[in-house]
Amino acid sequence: MRTKAKSLLAWLLILSLATGIAVLRIRTREQENLLADLRREKQELESLRLANEGFELVQVQTNELLRLRAENAALPGLRHEIRQLRAQEKQPQAASIMLRAAPEWRENQQLRRENERLRNQQVQAACIRNLEQIDLAKRQWAAENKLEGGSLMMLDDLANYFPGGVTPVCPAGGHYSINRIGSPPACSLNGHSIP
Ligand SMILES: [Zn+2]
């Protein structure tokens, strides 16, 4: 009887150890997966940053804005992935702490901020070029029509002065005020103004 109890106890011990090992393995695999996700995200962020940096060197023309938008079309997908990663992080507390300690996590945060900053810079620069183009068109129109400073005008009046007849629009969705002759045109967004 005692021998039976002993062997039962031994089996129970083995069973609980095996369970413990299995749980540990699952946790490790979960954390490995999360790290792999982070590394993949980092690669994507880095290539995006490279694209952004390369882009800064190129003189962006107003009619290239559509191309700019297409290039940034990858961003929503990336954001979705980041959101997914964040949701995953919230699940196992231990994994979350481990993830935050991982250098990849910090690096990705930094890359994210850097990309955001570069993108804002691009958008701002593109908008300012638009405003300068509108300003130039205004001057040409005023000269041709012998208009004096303070005269009112419409953005539609300038259509022929823009490349391809396309009226520039703010890439960030700001609203343009063309303003009177002699005053620079303005965008409703902060930082989007001719220096
Ligand atoms: Zn703008």
Delimit the domains of the chain by residue range.
23-187
Centre of ligand 1 from the C-alpha of residue 77, in Å: 24
Dist CA 152 CA 43 (whole Å):
52
How much distance in Å is there from the Cα of 141 to the middle of ligand 1? Answer: 22
* Per-residue pLDDT, 59: 47
**Ligand 1 centroid, distance to 192 Cα (angstroms):** 5
10 CA from centroid of ligand 1 (Å)? 74
* CA 172 to chain centroid: 13
- Ranked by mean pLDDT, which of 6-15, 103-112, 127-136 comes out on top? 127-136
Q: What is the pLDDT of residues 135-172, one digit of tens each?
A: 999 999 999 999 888 988 888 889 889 988 889 999 99
**172: CA distance to ligand 1 center in Å?**
6
What is the spatial distance between Cα 171 and Cα 47, in angstroms, rounded to a whole number? 22
Choose between 166 and 8: higher pLDDT.
166
Distance CA 194, CA 179 (A): 13
Q: What's the whole-model pTM score?
A: 0.54
pLDDT in tens, 20-46: 777 777 777 877 887 788 888 888 888
In terms of pLDDT, which residue wins out, 120 or 48? 120
Kindly give the distance from the C-alpha atom of residue 132 to the centroid of ligand 1, in angstroms, as a whole number: 12
Q: How many CA atoms lie within 13 A of 9 on its CB side?
A: 6
pLDDT tens per residue, range 52-110? 776 655 544 545 555 555 656 666 666 777 677 777 665 656 667 777 788 888 888 89
